[in-house]
Structure 1
Amino acid sequence: MLCLAAAQQGAFAQSQDSTFHKKALNDSARKAVRSSYSFQQPASVVPVLFGTQRREQLLQSQGVLSGNELLSFPVAQIEAALYGKFAGLYLLQPSAKPGEDAASVSLRGRNPLVLVDGVPRNLNSINPEQIASVSVLKDALATSIYGMRGGNGVILIETKRGSVAPRKISFTAQTGIQKQLNLPSFLNAADYSTLFNEALVNDGKQPIYTPDAIQKYRDGSDPVLYPNVDWYNSILKKKATQQRYNLNFSGGNEKARYFVDLDYLSQDGFFVSDAKRNSYETNNSFKRYGFRTNIDADLTKNLLLSLNIFGRIRNGNEPGAIDATLLGLTGTDLIYNNLLRTPNNAYPMLNPDGSFGGNQQFTNNLYAQVVGSGYRPAYNRNLGVDFSLKQKLDALLDGLYVKGKGSFNTYYSELINRSKSFAVYQYTPIPGGNPDIIKYGTDGSQNNSSTQNVANRQIYAEFLAGYDRVFGNHEINASLNYNMDTFVNGADMSIDNSALAARFQYNYSKKYFIELVSSYMGMNRYQKNHQWGFFPAAGLGWDLSKEDFMQSFKNLNTLKLRGSYGRSADNNGAGYFVYDQFYNASSSVYFGSPATGNGSIIEAVLANPNLTWETTDKLNVGLDIALFQNRLQFSAEYYHNAYSGLLQQRGTNASAIIGNERPNENIGKRTYSGVELTAGYHGQTGQVNWFVNANASISKSKVDYMDEVIRPYDWMKRTGLPAGQPFGVVADGFFQNQAEIDNSAKIDGYKAVPGDIRYKDLNGDGVINVFDEQALGSTKPMVFYGLTAGLNYKGFEFSMVWNGVSNRNVFVNGAGTYEFQSFGLGGSGQAFAHHLDRWTPATASTATYPRLTVGNNINNQRASSFWLKNGSYLRLKNVEVAYSLPQRWISFIKLDRARIFVNGSNLLTITPLERVDPEVVSWDYPNQRVFNFGINLQF
């Protein structure tokens, strides 16, 4: 399925064919290179796996986006620029931490493979200025040619290339301000102390804060003994900067074309710094340096050489904080977690003598973790080379050609530990004398160690023979290729994928279309007699607009019916040679008298010699309509993807019977189906060029089979429900009094009191337990959608992107929601504004939160409908306003174009959720709103 966004200039410049590259860009298109939207006709040629196709012959389910559309997004990771752009593509950004803020990507319910210039790569290896187009390939006809690696769909990125045109230099500088969204509303020390006393009483304990202490917390009369520290505003800045600079060159002649790109990104975190204490930076940050050189050269009239050289340096930094008691977290993650678990009255940030405040209970001062714990740099290096030769063989057979391609990629990541320990001091003033000071911890020297985190390399090779020919009304396009991909991670043995793939296309009079693709692929992580599989697909199409009986419809340009069916697979879960049984060293076994220790081994997870790939059978039916000289386009698709052989552990027959953990087996079955709609229009009203693109996806999943444990009631069963469906007990208000508790079902392992959450007894046995858990929230298909619109007028440009989702369930729970969570901090973590609405006898009729308790509460905090919320939202994801200075103002300094732009992301969110961002629900590293200003100069 083609998005109207394919209209943008740059999406068509993908062909390796030298005759295609020799087509000079017209002047208006060249002047629109940096513009986000150029209001042109859809590209006539689109990229597919192992080549390109003309739009008119395309039968695949595909969406295409020009790389220029990504430039209006002030984001560090490419994924964040894809929101709302493609039908079927769902994105979720669970964290905004610098360097780790990439969104998770789901294509028709599964995680797709990413290819850059036809080679499997990570999206981190490329920046937006380098991208010519992004394509999503969804059905079997598009992905079966990639065999057992294409079962989950493919995101195909093509980089920019030079053309036959005068040299063009483009420089872009931009700077932005980041602001964190949906920060928790912490209670001040007085309110916290009041609620903590109440929680202690609810737990049957004595309160620990006197009225006098609470008053001192409230009036701030003694900030040393009765502190009230606003930790968020004490250790976090209100804003952080982001900068990006890009310089690229392009051009060429009949013999050679080139594109060169240099890019720099700097993204700061929100932690405060203390230059008086440190000569180094402790704030978290992310810096990225990238370069790319793409060259195409005609060595002879019929021999084309293409060479890509690219690299990236990614450097990160964060505070050196470490606390083994808190799930082994370090640095930024540790500090943000501790923010949720350190109350405002825990200790003063600094004592009167400037030392770090603390006490026996709280020995990790938050401010000290930020500025006094050293720092942790991280270094990542990525270098790659692509090399290809394409030889035309028209002398042997008109339309025949061969192509060879090789690629080498290497990646290295190193973590440096320059952390240090610090002491905290409990400072007690003594009237008329020296203060009483108790020290906890030590001021240690700085560590200086490094760890190789990741080191991998990849070698990719491809050989292709193709044949393109037109015989009157008959057109044939055929190709046969062999490809291999070898990936080595650290000291592991390599992962080897090899495939023989073929494609055949035929059309008659551009009306009737047929396409056949297949792949015979093998992988070395399976048993030798289970390594290879055959994956075919076929597609048919009929463009009714070309029929004679349709010629009276003058405004109709395309009316194409198309369908495809085929098989592909996913081998990503193969594991490390899990068909062989491994044995691990274990503790010593003692024999004899006196006992003598002897080394022993223990059986690892059971091997599975029959392990194989997960298979996908895909059906896709589509309708494409284009009207009014292709200004109006519409596509509708229905898909049904049946996954079988999914890797799962058996749920029946407890592993204790066999004394070992069960292996993954190919037993699961799931179905993903849905409808996808795309529509767009670009037009002109007077001197105003404008466009609007919209897409919507209705996505349904179903667990057809899983080896469930025995569940006695139908409402407990997962089979037949959507994949990932949340389960829990059904909340039924709060217990209001003891009589109500006495007349209700008992809670297994817990004695309820008034103010606790009451649950429905589904099986009527008088006990609330796992047998009362059912599917929670909506089981309807998820609906997600996007809208992109814009206009330009006499150099002014405006564009906006909206995205949204409906029928989405999210659990809002954890330390950012529950009261007094600690994880090793003595059961006295933070409390929040929404806890003021807790249940008490006085607020019983209006309470929206259960009674307060200290630490974990197995009844109130269990998975239930009380914590499951409607996660639907509509978000103004991006807005850009730009102005290109008139040529007469800049021509005297030899400028072709000067464009000033302002853009922003996450500007508005409409959601029924309270307190939390609909994506970063867990309070991990809050989502961000970014305001960005920049200028682009072209010479």
Structure 2
Amino acid sequence: MKKNILVGVILSCGLCAGNSSEALGQAAASSTDLQTPGSDSLVRIAYRTVNRKDIPGAISILNPPQYLDKHFGTYPLEGVEAFAGGTNLWNIGTALVLIDGVPRSIGDITTNEIEQITFLKGANAVVLYGSRAANGVMLITTKRGKAGAPVINVRLNTQVSKPKSYPDYLGAADYMTYYNKALKNDGLPALYADTTIAKYAAHSNPYQYPDIDYFSSDYLRKFFNVHTANAEFSSGTERARFYALAGFHNQNSLLNFGEGKNEHVTRLNLRGNIDLKLNDYISTYVNVSTVFFTSRNALGNYWQRADSLQPHRFAPLIPISYIAAGSKGSQALAGGRRNLIDGKYLLGGTQQFLTNPISDVYGAGYNIFTSRQFQYTSGIDVDLRNLLSGLSFHGEVSVDYSNRYNESVNNTYAIYVPSWNKINGKDSITDLTMYNKDAKPGTQNLSNTWSDQLIDFNFHIDYKNTFQEKHNVSVMFLADGMRRRQTGDYQYRTNANAGLHLGYNFDQRYYAEFSGTAVNSTRLPAGKRVAFSPTASLGWVLSEEGFLKGSSVVDRLKLTASAGIVNTDLDFGINNYYLYDAVYSPTAYYSWADGTFVNRTTTISRGQNLGLTYAKRKEFNLTIEGALYKGKIGFMASLFHIKKDGMPVQNYSLYPDFFFTGYPETSFVPYANFGANRYQGFDFSLNFHERVGAVKLTIGAAGTYVTTKALKRDELFTDAYRNRAGKPVDAIFGLQSQGLFGDQGEIDQHATQRFGTVKPGDIRYVDQNGDKVIDERDEVMLGRWGSPFTGGLNITAQWKDFTLFVLGTGSFGGTAIRNGDYFWVTGAAKYSGVVRNSWTEETKNNASYPALSTLGSGNNFRNSDYWTYSTDRFNISKVQLTWSLPKKILKGSFVKGVNIYVSGFDLLTIAKNRDIMELNIGSIPQTRSYNFGVKGEF
């Protein structure tokens, strides 16, 4: 591991990448900016804004306005792993997302509204936000108005999204054939006669012998459309500035029949930010944002049910033209119907399948999901220089409210089961059986109502001054609080902390900072609710020293080291209050006197521990950043080592067995601060900028490598290889396979596998402990769910008025398991294409899938390396070509600029297992998209 980290740092410092003002996710400003304080860009970090050159380590920055014109997208985090290192915040847990300093969702905002995204990774960078920030902070700052003439930007986009792939399920005839093979493997007679299979294969009468493909063009469009539009307005004076944005999004559905044609998603977002300078000492601001989201969909969950119904069960549509003229009863039954599809069809089914995905879309009704968010923030900044030069006060309060609900119209519908006969040599329906009734009550039903209310405030007193033009001092005293309540909460969710920041730098060459917070959590017992989190950092600008100053190669080189401890209650879970208390509750019933009397037992689910306290994030990180060759090359790299210690668990291994029972489930074992994990690795970002003839070329690269280790786990395994401690936190455990059994003799000679009946064609497993029995004690580590390395490349080539942008992203080192009904086919479930090379006596020498069975297969369908696959991949995530209309064309008009662009999203995945990774089962498919857009500035 240490070798990997060292290699990463060397690569980070040695590879060439540009760092112009056009570079995406630039890690450092150009050399000119770095050497000129007045021109240095500003960076928003915890409760303050600093010059880029003065930021502490382990912070990555993105400025969307710099790249949005050449890399348009509405999702703020699209491809960020290719722009800056550590944008996954080192994968230590769910990060805190702050929009203008307030806890909010990334779904509440679009890229158009954002001025800057700051990824606060290190403990020193996040500590002022208290315990809630222990897993990292994504700080999003929205745009603000600028003094001057009004500026209006309007952007219109239209997009076509085409599915990459659909599930591959067997047709009716193939299903019957393979089902018969499964029966044969079970020693049972065939269910489907060859003549019957032939009739389904012939497709001569698809209503009598159906072969339904739910993913065919009969039901689905080839693509769906997305249309977006937004307009930005900015204007103001030195006294009052205003920024506003209005955005609209509309998307239709792939379903191309019935209620599916009405499916859509709409989103309207509005934002207004106002800044007022009341006088020379007092300024104030107000931010208001609203989001109106609505989606309409047919009832029935089409995608999920389409992945479960066999193709031959029934025809979803029954043509009335096939009803025999002499069948008066069937004619009368069809004549009384209320659901006649396209004037030709009745809804089909069976007594077993009274509903189906196609009939649901036609007749079950629809659901409208509605979500509304309102967010309000106001603040005040007071310059207190009359009391003390450099002193200021800042206060802010936010009130957010959101709600959502479902509004549905639920209809019932009749399905018809036909009886077929030959009349005059023609297939005819001679009888119809109806189940259920058609009913459209028109009642609107409200359900799943949910609301969220949040009040957040903070205020801080700042002191910032410079003495003798070299001694730069900053001090901050901070108080922050939050109160939140959601539907179902019995008490408010609260967070409060008081913070202190002390900063000093000498001549912007030597830096020292201390930041700490006193945190409070109501999730802990009295006496343990308050703790102090200290952090410190040191920085050294080596390029200002005599041995580098004036170098023709090094423009800037800065080294920063930080360490700290952050107390957190995040590892207690979102709703886990009172874990320190013993909990008693009624449970199983018991009776006596031959059942004459009945009562319930009382049980305990955990014991009491009034010493339960915070988990701790203990960290050290090292960051190096710089610029070379007059700003042509820029880089930033961070090393980190984090230990999350004292995570609360119930230590069953420390207590005798009678402290806990299975039924009734009882445990006297308390929660204790015991679990521990380690996270370490590195991240980097590199940029290179050069002119090649008439082409301005920018190449950027970024990546993050994180390795994890479970340090302490509550476990008492006899075999050391089963221990979770010492393995990655996201380790996958399962059995190690040795191919498939070829015959009964191989099974008899092998260790006994205790996962049900084992037959030829089943998976053979390794006996890890040599006890001649294969069971859970033979499970070993198979891989890890997450990808240790994520990153990517971005390339920009500008020639005259044309700009070509290419984005590639990748992830490497992860493992996944093929599971679920699509890959683990058993019983009478729908058969997917994976069974085509299943084991039989004829194919046993080259079969790649176990023998099929109708009786279940507990032996085969469990976690093992037989089902694992690598998730290594590299994606061509975006290609965009932009043409900026020449200024001479627009000269004299009210139009200041026009960009016209075309782009493609998710164009290509380069991966060994691409077919699996691009496949969605039971949900809307992944898509490849093509976009055309126009932006005008007025």
Q: TM-score, normalising length from structure 1?
A: 0.88
- 1:341 matched to 2:326? The reply is no
The answer to whether the 8 Å contact 2:495/2:520 transfers is yes
SS at 1:549 equivalent = coil
Deviations 1:888-932 (A, max 9, x none): 3234541111111112211100111153226x6655433221111
Q: Which residue of structure 2 lines up, in the alignment, with residue 108 of structure 1?
A: 91
Distance 2:839 2:383 in 1: 79
Q: Which moved more, 1:718-727 or 1:648-657?
A: 648-657
Q: Which residue of structure 2 lines up, in the alignment, with residue 294 of structure 1?
A: 273
- 1:468 matched to 2:464? The reply is yes
- 1:45 matched to 2:24? The reply is no
Distance 1:42 1:846 in 2: 68
RMSD between aligned alpha carbons? 2.8
Q: Which residue of structure 2 lines up, in the alignment, with residue 912 of structure 1?
A: 912
- 1:375 matched to 2:360? The reply is no
Q: Cα gap change, 1:210/1:452 in structure 2, threshold over 3 Å: closer, same or farther?
A: closer
- What amino acid is the match of 2:144? R
The answer to whether the 8 Å contact 1:282/1:375 transfers is no
Distance 2:185 2:681 in 1: 50
SS at 2:141 equivalent = strand
The answer to whether the 8 Å contact 1:693/1:788 transfers is yes
Deviations 1:827-860 (A, max 9, x none): 4232222321112222222211111123641011
Distance 1:910 1:917 in 2: 11
- Deviation of 1:934 (Å): 1.1
Percent same amino acid at aligned positions? 25
Q: Which residue of structure 2 lines up, in the alignment, with residue 754 of structure 1?
A: 760
Q: Cα gap change, 1:877/1:467 in structure 2, threshold over 3 Å: closer, same or farther?
A: same
- 1:841 matched to 2:841? The reply is yes
- What amino acid is the match of 1:553? S
Q: 1:247 aligns with which of 209, 231, 234?
A: 231
Distance 1:374 1:5 in 2: 55
Within a 5 Å distance, the mapping from 1:736-751 to structure 2 comes to 736-751=742-757
- Deviation of 1:752 (Å): 1.9
- What amino acid is the match of 1:478? V
SS at 1:144 equivalent = helix
Q: Cα gap change, 1:6/1:309 in structure 2, threshold over 3 Å: closer, same or farther?
A: farther
Q: Which residue of structure 2 lines up, in the alignment, with residue 270 of structure 1?
A: 254
Q: Which moved more, 1:445-454 or 1:163-172?
A: 445-454
Q: Which residue of structure 2 lines up, in the alignment, with residue 457 of structure 1?
A: 453
- What amino acid is the match of 2:307? L
Q: Cα gap change, 1:524/1:77 in structure 2, threshold over 3 Å: closer, same or farther?
A: same
Deviations 1:46-93 (A, max 9, x none): 110101111222222011011234576676643445343332234xxx
Q: How many equivalent residue pairs?
A: 872
Deviations 1:598-657 (A, max 9, x none): 798765665654443321011001211211233311122210000012233435356317
Distance 1:320 1:268 in 2: 16
The answer to whether the 8 Å contact 2:399/2:454 transfers is yes
- Deviation of 1:475 (Å): 0.9
Q: 2:483 aligns with which of 469, 483, 486?
A: 486
Distance 1:107 1:497 in 2: 24
The answer to whether the 8 Å contact 1:145/1:536 transfers is no
Distance 1:881 1:206 in 2: 62
Q: Which moved more, 1:750-759 or 1:353-362?
A: 353-362
Deviations 1:128-174 (A, max 9, x none): 11111111111111011222122111111000011122110011111
Choose 1 or 2 for highest CA Rg.
2
- What amino acid is the match of 1:656? T
Distance 1:576 1:437 in 2: 59
Q: Which residue of structure 2 lines up, in the alignment, with residue 861 of structure 1?
A: 861
- 1:724 matched to 2:730? The reply is yes
Distance 2:897 2:207 in 1: 60
Q: TM-score, normalising length from structure 2?
A: 0.88
Q: Cα gap change, 1:608/1:740 in structure 2, threshold over 3 Å: closer, same or farther?
A: same
Q: 2:813 aligns with which of 790, 807, 816?
A: 807
Q: Which residue of structure 2 lines up, in the alignment, with residue 497 of structure 1?
A: 495
Q: Which residue of structure 2 lines up, in the alignment, with residue 435 of structure 1?
A: 430
Distance 1:779 1:389 in 2: 46
Q: Which residue of structure 2 lines up, in the alignment, with residue 613 of structure 1?
A: 614
Q: Cα gap change, 1:445/1:647 in structure 2, threshold over 3 Å: closer, same or farther?
A: farther
The answer to whether the 8 Å contact 1:641/1:673 transfers is yes
- 1:190 matched to 2:173? The reply is yes
- Deviation of 1:555 (Å): 3.2
Distance 1:936 1:464 in 2: 40
Distance 2:644 2:296 in 1: 42
- 1:881 matched to 2:881? The reply is yes
The answer to whether the 8 Å contact 1:545/1:560 transfers is yes
The answer to whether the 8 Å contact 2:698/2:796 transfers is yes
SS at 2:666 equivalent = coil
Q: Which residue of structure 2 lines up, in the alignment, with residue 925 of structure 1?
A: 924
Q: Cα gap change, 1:348/1:659 in structure 2, threshold over 3 Å: closer, same or farther?
A: closer
Distance 1:502 1:784 in 2: 35
- Deviation of 1:301 (Å): 1.6
Q: Cα gap change, 1:892/1:531 in structure 2, threshold over 3 Å: closer, same or farther?
A: same
- What amino acid is the match of 2:536? A
Q: Which residue of structure 1 lines up, in the alignment, with residue 332 of structure 2?
A: none
Q: Cα gap change, 1:289/1:530 in structure 2, threshold over 3 Å: closer, same or farther?
A: same
Deviations 1:523-568 (A, max 9, x none): 2232231211101100011111101222241331211111000011
Q: Cα gap change, 1:195/1:308 in structure 2, threshold over 3 Å: closer, same or farther?
A: same
Deviations 1:205-239 (A, max 9, x none): 22111111111111111212211111111433221
The answer to whether the 8 Å contact 1:113/1:152 transfers is yes
- Deviation of 1:9 (Å): 10
The answer to whether the 8 Å contact 1:812/1:921 transfers is no
Q: Which residue of structure 1 lines up, in the alignment, with residue 30 of structure 2?
A: none
Deviations 1:347-371 (A, max 9, x none): 1121122122222343332211223
Within a 5 Å distance, the mapping from 1:562-581 to structure 2 comes to 562-572=560-570, 573=572, 575-581=576-582
- Deviation of 1:759 (Å): 1.0
Distance 1:671 1:538 in 2: 20
- Deviation of 1:417 (Å): 3.1
- Deviation of 1:881 (Å): 1.1
Q: Which residue of structure 1 lines up, in the alignment, with residue 219 of structure 2?
A: 235
SS at 2:319 equivalent = coil
Deviations 1:751-798 (A, max 9, x none): 322211111111122221111110113699822221112122222111
The answer to whether the 8 Å contact 1:477/1:504 transfers is yes
SS at 2:92 equivalent = coil
- Deviation of 1:297 (Å): 1.3
Gapped regions of structure 2 (runs ≥ 5): 1-11, 27-37, 321-344
The answer to whether the 8 Å contact 1:777/1:869 transfers is no
Distance 1:848 1:263 in 2: 51
Distance 1:877 1:42 in 2: 34
Q: Which residue of structure 2 lines up, in the alignment, with residue 641 of structure 1?
A: 642
Q: 1:258 aligns with which of 242, 249, 271?
A: 242
Deviations 1:229-264 (A, max 9, x none): 111114332211111110110122211111100111
Q: 1:546 aligns with which of 536, 544, 565?
A: 544
The answer to whether the 8 Å contact 1:83/1:877 transfers is no
Deviations 1:479-532 (A, max 9, x none): 111111111113531122111111111111221111111111112232231211
Deviations 1:814-833 (A, max 9, x none): 1222225xxxxxx4232222
- Deviation of 1:722 (Å): 0.2
- Deviation of 1:201 (Å): 1.3
Distance 2:774 2:162 in 1: 44
Deviations 1:11-63 (A, max 9, x none): 99xxxxxxxxxxxxxxxxxxxxxxxxxxxx99622110101111222222011
Distance 1:485 1:377 in 2: 32
Q: Which residue of structure 2 lines up, in the alignment, with residue 32 of structure 1?
A: none
The answer to whether the 8 Å contact 1:190/1:214 transfers is yes
The answer to whether the 8 Å contact 1:11/1:132 transfers is no
Q: Cα gap change, 1:599/1:712 in structure 2, threshold over 3 Å: closer, same or farther?
A: closer
- Deviation of 1:200 (Å): 1.5
